[in-house]
Structure 1
Amino acid sequence: MSDTQETLENITYNELNEGDTATFTRTLTEDDLVLFAAVSGDVNPVHLDSEFAADSMFKERIAHGMWSGSLISAALATVMPGPGTIYLEQSLSFKRPVKLDDTLTVELTVIRKEPKNRVAFQCEVHNQNQEQVVSGEAKVIAPTKKMSLKKPRLPKITITD
């Protein structure tokens, strides 16, 4: 399932198996970067100020690390297991910077099923050059009831000064 489909369908705890994988892909736009800064309150100039970022170790503006982390959350919530998932834990290791216009793909892999509908996932995030940008592990409570629902529509958000 891709993030552009109109229907969200979950995968229940009983349907999940060790080794199952799923992906979620998104490209970082200027709007994403600025809106993430606004929502999170993280206005570090390395994300928002080109001149400041040029003098940083990255030599250009970069995404917030947690933007990449939020894509893992989106993958768990909308793809596997999907709607009804409760996020419990997440470890993250940031491997390389994410830059404007990078396209990231999250790959989730079921690594173990635990009692009480808990499922652990290996989370790998790669850019369009297949370079790893984030790795980690997530634990969720997987849904037990099958559901399929229409993907909610977001309002058009514009950035103004």
Structure 2
Amino acid sequence: MSEILETLENITYDELNEGDSATFTRTLTEDELVLFAAVSGDVNPVHLDSAFAAESMFKERIAHGMWSGSLISAALATVMPGPGTIYLDQTLSFKRPVKLDDTLTVTLTVLQKSPKNRVTLSCDVRNQNNEQVVAGEAKVIAPSEKISLQKPRLPKITIQG
């Protein structure tokens, strides 16, 4: 049985045009929520404790806001502009909570190209119901040279409890 290897290919500064857009989609699993808490150190009980969260304004556990923000980073790094991109600046406005099993789609749109390969992109993050959960803008240095490479394989991480 052969394994299908994914390729990452960037979009260079010269290839980008104002109005270009791209998407990145991910679903929040229990494992990812717990791993994000472990990696970030943010163990706020609204993310991890069902009884505590039930008494909160959200009435259930919610994702870390920065998990949604990290999807923007992933979209910039792997989709548009992709490998070789240097992240400079990010604004984020959290519009509604993200819950377990929500599927988020990040849409990046090129707003402006500036000298020295600088690019400003709008960042629109929506859940599976097309409700906006995060809005913002990112500023990056887009790569000047074309890169195409095999997507790195991550180790399988399991949560022990």
- Structure-2-length-normalised TM-score: 0.97
Q: Which residue of 1 aligns with 2:141?
A: 141
Task: Name the structure 2 match of 1:80.
Answer: 80
Gapped runs of 5+ residues in structure 1?
A: none
How far residue 33 of structure 1 moved from its aligned partner, in angstroms, is 0.2
What letter corresponds to residue 142 of structure 1 in structure 2? A
Q: Return the alpha-carbon distance in structure 1 between the equivalents of residues 66 and 5 of structure 2.
A: 24
Query: How far apart, in 2, do the equivalents of 1:82 and 1:120 lie?
Result: 14
Tell me, in whole angstroms, the C-alpha distance in 2 between the residues paired with 1:35 and 1:63. Answer: 11
Letter in 1 for 2:48: L
Matched, 1:26 2:48: no
Task: Give the letter aligned to residue 112 of structure 1.
Answer: Q
Alignment deviations for residues 74-130 of structure 1 (CA, whole Å, 9 cap, x no partner): 000000000000000000000000000000000000000011100000000000000
Matched residue, 1:159? 159
SS in 2 for 1:154: coil
| CA–CA distance in structure 1, aligned partners of residues 79 and 31 of structure 2 | 24
SS of the residue aligned with 1:149?
strand
1:5 is displaced (CA, Å) by: 7.0
- What amino acid sits opposite 2:140 in the alignment? V
Q: Structure 2 counterpart of 1:6, which letter?
A: E
**What is the CA-CA distance between 1:11 and the residue it aligns to?**
0.1
Taking the aligned partners of 2:28 and 2:110, their CA distance within structure 1 comes to 26
Runs of 5+ unmatched residues, structure 2? none
Instruction: Name the SS of the counterpart of 1:76 in structure 2.
Output: helix
Distance 1:61 1:88 in 2: 31
- Mapped to 2, the partners of 1:52 and 1:60 lie a distance apart of 8
Other-structure match for 2:110: 110
How far, CA to CA, are the matches of 1:105 and 1:137 in structure 2? 15
Number of matched residues? Answer: 158
Question: Which runs of structure 2 are paired with 1:116-131 in the superposition (5 Å)?
Answer: 116-131=116-131
SS in structure 2 at match of 1:153: coil
Cα RMSD for the two superposed structures? 1.0
Corresponding position of 2:97: 97
- What residue identity is the alignment partner of 1:77? A
- Any runs of at least 4 consecutive aligned residues in structure 1 with deviations exceeding 2 A, and if so which? none
- 1:29: how far off? 0.1
Say whether the 8 Å CA contact 2:8–2:148 is kept in structure 1. yes
Identity %: 84
Q: Amino acid of the residue matched to residue 15 of structure 2?
A: E
Displacement of 1:158 in angstroms is: 0.3
Q: TM-score, normalised by structure 1?
A: 0.97
